[in-house]
Amino acid sequence: MNAQLFRPLHHLSLCALSLTLFIGLPARAAEPAKADSLTRVLPSGALGFVEVENLAGQIQRLRQSLLVKLVLESPEYGEAIKAPQYKEGMAFIKVAENILDMDVWKAADTLLSGQLALALYPKANSPQPEPLVILRTPDAAGLEKLRLRLAPLVALAGEKIQRKEEAGGMETFQLDDKLFVALHKNWIVASPNRDLAMRAVGLLNGQKGGVLAFEAPFAKMRDQMGAKHFVQVGVNLEALRAAINARMNVPEQFDNGAASLLFQSLAELAVRSPYFGLTVDIDDKGFALTAGLAGGPKALAPEHQWYFSDPKTGGTPPLPAVPGLIGGFSTYGDFSQWYRNREKLLVERVQPEFDKFESGIKTLLPGRDFADDVLSALGRTITFVAAQQNYDHLGGGQPAMKLPGFALVFELAKPQEGGDLFQLLFQTIATLTNLGAAESGNQPWVMMAENYKDTSIWLMRHLKKPEGKQLPVVYNFMPCAARMGNRFVLTSSPSLCRQLVDAFQKPAPVAAANKNLNIELFPIELAALAQNNLDLLTAQAVQGGKDADQAKHGIEALLKVLRTIESAKLFSTVKEDRFQFRLEGHWK
């Protein structure tokens, strides 16, 4: 991708300067504030845009939130405000407040309580795009006051600025040949390109046609992602492809297997999508960030379709509801399809790595073929879970460093065959681990079985029951395996294995539609885990050069912050005509 397209910093800084300076000039006429998106007054032809709605309101909301209060109370913040840079910043704000005759929050409220948009347009004979900035505020009186206070500063610029009164009460200013600014009672337009700015002025004054919002890619984005958001970012990928090349430098074949698994199919979707969109919404209890592309899996070549769930039949399930769930992920994918298509998806150079991998895996699964036996036995979803664990299985002993219990749940396409295969894998790993334990003088494991609610659980217990509350970290692990219907479960702790049996025996909750990937984190449980390991975390901070008290206070402040966050979720959804990622955070 041509990076220069996204380096219009010089012009951007000029636009920002103009927004600060030109509000200092007297206004000529009033115009009621418009609530429509600024994309309806941005001229067509932009490569992309960013629009922010009522930034001042969100800043206000953030200032009043518990999270910010905790950050302000933290020792780290206390240290930060002692820094000379902070003091210099505060001094600058004081000077600015004196000039403006209002506090900085009021000034922000005046300028940012409406809409602010930036769009980038291709520039003839230049790799750098041209910016256009529009600011519209409902607080015309406030803007007027700011203009009057800043007028003397503008006057200091002297002849450098050519001022002109235009029809309809508008004024324009030309700063050398570098910046053109038009301003009205409640809006400001700025761009280095006068024609571009005047097109925006025309649209602001009610001219019809030629607006960004009705260009096909952005119209599609609005249809698929909605029109009203705190922040929205749109990129016209069709225009970008025309400017760069048809595949936007995305290679046909990847040279890294992991990157292919994670991104290749999405990149293919992006290559065909007319837009890339991003929206942010915030309320009192959380935020949501959504990123979207247009196009569905059917538009892609068959070797790229393995990644996407069927939009009609749903995707990956929600995480199992086990007590003390810290987090985890579930993912959907036809991995055997990906593996079989690896020669199409990946460059020749990396193909020998797969042969090496298959030779290695034969040690763990003797006599089985990875593609034919292992992958074909796998279903489409894999789930990973981390949850608090208890140490009942140690009979009173406890490791000093307390780790969560971990679980991997594989959906099985062929339950019986797949179950046997994974049990074989489990037994082989146990044997190899025992050989390692014997070499290093650690305790070996003994395999045993138990029946829990009609499910057979294979577990490995330590040969000798350990005693004490400061046991080595290895006692966090007592591997277990079980087949539950069409699922094979591997866990690091018996309690988690039993909890998963309980969870899977309950009726399945309704899955969120078409989730292709689902990652969930519950910081409150993470804070509880950190609390259980407080001394170790403090020791780590002391090793890093802090004193013990300072370290403890810092960690406790962080835990307070974690406890205010209820959950963080990232998931993707697949529909016939769109693919979206959504990141959600919820706090108290």
Partner 1 sequence: MSVEKPSGSLAPVDWQQRKWSRADAKHLLWRTQFGASAEQIARTHTDGSAKSLERLFSLQPESTAFVAADELLRRAAMDTDSPASLKAWWLHRLFHSANPLPEKMALFWHNHFATSIAKVRSASAMAAQNDLCRREALGSFRRLLHGMTQDGAMLVWLDGNANRRRHANENFAREIMELFALGEGHYSEKDIKEAARAFTGWHVREGQFWFNRDQHDFGIKTVFGKMGDFDGSAVVDLCLAQKACPRFLATKLLRAFVLPQPAEAIVAAVAARVRAHDFAMGEVLRELLASELFHSDEARGALIKSPIELALGALRALEGQPNLRAVHAVTTLLGQDIFQPPTVKGWEGGRLWITSASLLQRANFAATLTGSNQLGAINAPEISARKTDTTPAQIVAHYTDLLLARPPAPETRQRLESYAAASTGETAERIRGLLHLIMAMPEFQLM
* Closest by CA position to 586, among listed 570, 559, 566, 560: 566
301 vs 463 by CB, closer to partner 1: 463
Helix, strand, coil percentages for the chain (3-state, nearest 5): 45, 25, 30
CB 221 to partner 1: min, Å: 46
CB 20 to partner 1: min, Å: 31
Residues near partner 1, by CB under 8 A: 399-401, 440, 470, 472-473, 535-536, 538-540, 542-545, 547-549
* Closest by CA position to 143, among listed 195, 187, 83, 199: 187
Cα–Cα distance list, 42 to 127, 241, 355 (Å) = 21, 21, 55
* Closest by CA position to 256, among listed 246, 267, 245: 267
**In the 8-state DSSP scheme, what is residue 169?**
G
CB 395 to partner 1: min, Å: 19
**DSSP string covering 394-429, please?**
GTT--BSS-PPEEEEEEEESSHHHHHHHHHHHHHHH
CB 468 to partner 1: min, Å: 11
65 vs 443 by CB, closer to partner 1: 443
Q: Which pair of structure tokens corresponds to residue 31?
A: 């115009």
Give the 3-state secondary structure of residue 450: strand
Q: What is the dihedral of CA 492, 494, 498, 503, to 10 degrees?
A: -20
CB 436 to partner 1: min, Å: 12
158 vs 544 by CB, closer to partner 1: 544
395 vs 472 by CB, closer to partner 1: 472
SS3 sequence of 375-403: HHHEEEEEEEEEECCCCHHHCCCCECCCC
Q: Phi and psi at residue 118, in whole multiples of 5°?
A: -130, 130
**DSSP string covering 35-92, please?**
-S-GGGTSBS--SEEEEEE-HHHHHHHHHTSHHHHHHHHSHHHHHHTTSHHHHHHHHH
CB 542 to partner 1: min, Å: 6
472 vs 485 by CB, closer to partner 1: 472
Q: Where are the alpha helices (DSSP H) in 138-296?
A: 140-156, 194-204, 216-225, 237-243, 257-259, 265-272
55 vs 551 by CB, closer to partner 1: 551
Strand 565-575 and strand 578-587: the pairing is antiparallel
CB 544 to partner 1: min, Å: 6
**DSSP string covering 87-133, please?**
HHHHHHHHHHHHHHTS-HHHHHHHHHSSEEEEEEEEETTEEEEEEEE
**Spatial distance between the Cα atoms of 400 and 389, rounded to a whole number of angstroms:** 14
159 vs 439 by CB, closer to partner 1: 439
CB 440 to partner 1: min, Å: 7
Specify burial of residue 581 (Cβ count, 10 A radius: 0-12, 13-18, 19+).
middle
CA quadruple 184, 190, 195, 201: dihedral sign: negative
11 vs 402 by CB, closer to partner 1: 402
59 vs 401 by CB, closer to partner 1: 401
164 vs 465 by CB, closer to partner 1: 465
Q: What is the dihedral of CA 164, 166, 170, 175, to 10 degrees?
A: -30
313 vs 440 by CB, closer to partner 1: 440
Of the CA atoms within 13 Å of residue 329, those in its CB half-sphere come to 9
CB 470 to partner 1: min, Å: 6
206 vs 544 by CB, closer to partner 1: 544
CB 549 to partner 1: min, Å: 8
Contact, 513 vs 571, CB < 8 A? no
Q: Which pair of structure tokens corresponds to residue 109?
A: 């409220």
CB 546 to partner 1: min, Å: 8
87 vs 228 by CB, closer to partner 1: 87
CB 75 to partner 1: min, Å: 16
CB 228 to partner 1: min, Å: 46
